[in-house]
Chains A and B, each alone.
Chain A
């Protein structure tokens, strides 16, 4: 290994230092959020901040009695449907685009990207009008479709560029053996792409889970999602920070579980697909 051992140790210390600092930056608000969710409103605002306090479940009580099950189910449905659709439809499209050449490809791929350029405030009224005409207001379907409008292009575009960067030799081996593009995709490309597919899945899930304004506009009592519930609980009379913390903390749990489960898959996938 190049470099004297002490230099390496010094570099290692630097890296750890950077990582731990950044982790601190990330975790500080989250820990504070979690602590706040167990405080009363007055305690939450007290300074110096009370690290030792009498915990209360007020906020969580409000959360659970507000009927969180249905929004949870809705959010899950919308998010997972988005993942499934974005991957099932997006992966082949991304792959095909990646292996194309020339003008048609450029135009198509640019069009895919451009669908993501519409600002939220611009599409609220059109999407509302569309869903209203289709009679889809307050259905999970409408929210799913609305979310697809930004998740699908995202998946296609990201995967397309990723596939472009993959060495062609992998597929060529399969093609030479008489496999079709589909076969090549399934057996040569997909296994290696597992980390990226997982990353895309996580990002699609999160984007859908967190999306607020479209979900709010399109739903009433039946199909509302978790962010919509959070917003309505936050209330207008006196901003209830413990309640918002509790709701946010509670709302984060499924996403957390998903990420945790999936993370292990990434590491497992890596060791299995290792080229060595």
Chain B
């Protein structure tokens, strides 16, 4: 039959090949040799690196915003070795190496290093919305006050920096980080659009609401492809900085726990239970409703990048309260109106009389397990010091500086005008960095709160979402040992 032939032919072929091949021992021995060789080659490829262990002391920094942060040292690519960098290395007496990544990846690397207590990175990127608190409480950061006094740096003086920015990096009085670029709250609005409809920047949240209403009606009538407001509602920690600012403005205090304690010690002392279904609710609801009614339908997954993109495309008329996100668009947008007509106004005041907050510092801290703390301290001091701030402001033109003496300098005045700088400064000075409590479990709470907001924006009932949050919050604090 036809089917047998191909099989038989195949068998013959194999037999022939086997006969031709010869000794099987060769094959097995060859295999073992090859594997051993491969293993050896692999090992050798790793050896040279291990052998060249660091002879000269090297201070390692890890951060994000490559090319944007400290371009005077690391170049616009973030990988250059500039003269300025060499100069600093000489001053400090050690090599300086920096590693970059995106925010979430860097955070993992930082965690892996800190938690293994290996001291691989000396100077570490932190944010004042969780990292400072977490690592500070965990005893993984070096307190900086004593370095200030013991080894004062020509670059940084605590008197220069805006006190509120420093406060944001203090845990129960101890300073754990120094700020690089930072921001306070504000409202960014399109002056041309406001003028068109006879609007002025809102002073209160009520005014804010009516402005949005007017905008919405008019956009609809004239079929303008714009959203009245852009805010961020992505799940996780993303919206929390802004959302909590609303909570603060509506309640008048950091309405997380009974009595509004803002330190771990105070929470424990008062055995303060969460009040997510209490005073917290008003600001939360306001935030959610604003986004649902006046923002993009996709806002429940919007991050600060989306806020920026919308503004850049000229698709939003108001940005609040993290107005900082509009600045890159103001310099780089293709749309003239965005560049010329974006204006900064103070954050509106809520029913309690307090302003809507939004506060954050890009901070650098010192690894407690660093093996070259002295040198690392000096590097850190430079990186957050006046010179670095001056370079930042003159190169980027962004007013996100931490020192008054740098805020009112020519590059910034020329770009934004004194008036706006005054508004910016006022926001910092009037801020309350403790508009959320500083306690070890902060990150988890930020994440859960932000996710709750995202859920509500996407359609869930605020009451349900807050109930869940309340139940969870109580259980979490109990597990953390606060109520025993």
Contacts and interface: CB of A to CB of B under 8 A. Distances in A.
A and B directly contacting (CB within 8 A): yes
Interface of A: 41-42, 45, 62, 65-67, 77, 81, 84-85, 88-89, 92, 124-125, 128-129, 132, 135-142, 144, 169-170, 173-174, 177-188, 212-213, 216-217, 220-223, 228, 231-239, 275-276
A178 B25 CA distance: 12
B79 A239 contact: no
When A and B form their complex, which 3 residue pairs have the shortest distance between CB atoms, in order from nearest?
A141-B46, A180-B24, A182-B27
Interface of B: 6-7, 9-11, 14-15, 17-19, 21, 24-25, 27-28, 31, 34-35, 38, 42-43, 45-46, 49-50, 53, 60, 64-68, 77-79, 97, 99-103, 105, 108-109, 111-113, 115-116, 118, 120, 305, 308-309, 312-313, 328, 332-334
B50 A238 contact: no
A41 B313 CA distance: 11
A137 B113 CA distance: 11
Contacts of B113: 128
Given A180-B28, A235-B67, A276 B6 contact: yes
Contacts of A184: 18
Interface core residue of B78, B108, B111 (most chain A CB under 10 Å) = B108
B38 A88 contact: yes
A201 to B, nearest CB: 15
Contacts of A85: 38, 42
B49 to A, nearest CB: 4
Given A129-B116, A136-B46, A235 B102 contact: yes
Nearest to B116: A129
B9 A88 contact: no
A232 B308 CA distance: 20
B100 A180 contact: no
A182 B24 contact: yes
Contact of A183 (B21, B45, B328): B21
Contacts of A212: 105
B307 to A, nearest CB: 11
Contacts of B9: 275
24 contacts: A41-B332, A67-B79, A84-B38, A88-B31, A88-B38, A89-B35, A125-B112, A125-B116, A129-B112, A135-B50, A139-B49, A141-B42, A141-B46, A173-B14, A179-B18, A180-B27, A217-B112, A220-B97, A231-B101, A231-B102, A235-B67, A236-B64, A238-B332, A276-B6
Given A65-B77, A173-B11, A177-B19, A232 B101 contact: yes
B50 A179 contact: no
Contacts of A65: 77
Chain A residues touching B, majority SS? helix
A4 to B, nearest CB: 26
Contacts of B28: 180, 182
Contacts of B14: 170, 173-174, 187-188
A205 B50 CA distance: 26
B15 A173 contact: yes
Contact of B105 (A92, A128, A216): A216
A194 B79 CA distance: 44
A220 B38 contact: no
Nearest to B67: A235
Contact of B31 (A92, A128, A135, A136): A92
Contacts of B19: 177
Contact of B6 (A125, A232, A238, A275): A275
A5 B130 CA distance: 70
A239 B65 CA distance: 11
A177 B108 contact: no
B108 A187 contact: no
Contact of B108 (A170, A181, A213, A236): A213
B342 to A, nearest CB: 15
A201 B118 CA distance: 37
Given A128-B116, A217-B108, A234-B102, A139 B46 contact: yes
A275 B42 CA distance: 39
B105 A138 contact: no
B18 A182 contact: no
Contact of A174 (B18, B34, B78, B109): B18
Contacts of A213: 105, 108
Contacts of A231: 101-102, 105
Nearest to A181: B24
B34 A88 contact: yes
A240 B224 CA distance: 27
Given A128-B116, A237-B65, A222 B105 contact: no
Nearest to A142: B46
Contacts of A239: 305, 309
B390 to A, nearest CB: 19
A135 B48 CA distance: 12
A211 to B, nearest CB: 13
A275 B328 CA distance: 65
Contacts of A137: 120
Given A125-B112, A144-B42, A188-B18, A170 B10 contact: yes
Contacts of B21: 179, 183, 186-187
B38 A138 contact: no
B334 A237 contact: no
B50 A139 contact: yes
Contact of A238 (B24, B45, B305): B305
A183 B38 contact: no
A205 B17 CA distance: 31
